[in-house]
Amino acid sequence: MKLTVPAFVGRIAFSALAALIGAVFALPLLWFLFAPFNARAEPWPRHA
């Protein structure tokens, strides 16, 4: 199957968009890996 240039560009654009959306959802999940091991973590601030 031979892709035309517009089809190839569209496929690349779709892949980049899917990767960006995936990163938006995946990067905050990395917090769960590092937060429990953070020795400098502070408790949630209380407003007096």
Q: What are the tens digits of pLDDT across the range 1-48?
A: 788 999 999 999 999 999 999 999 988 888 887 777 766 767 777 775
Structure tokens at 43: 């408790």
- 3 touches 9 (CB < 8 A): no
| pTM (2 d.p.) | 0.58
- Which pLDDT belongs to residue 20? 97
- Which pLDDT belongs to residue 44? 73
- 3 touches 11 (CB < 8 A): yes
- Which pLDDT belongs to residue 41? 67
CA atoms within 13 A on the CB side of 39: 0
- Which pLDDT belongs to residue 11? 96
Distance, CA of 1 to CA of 18 (rounded, Å): 23
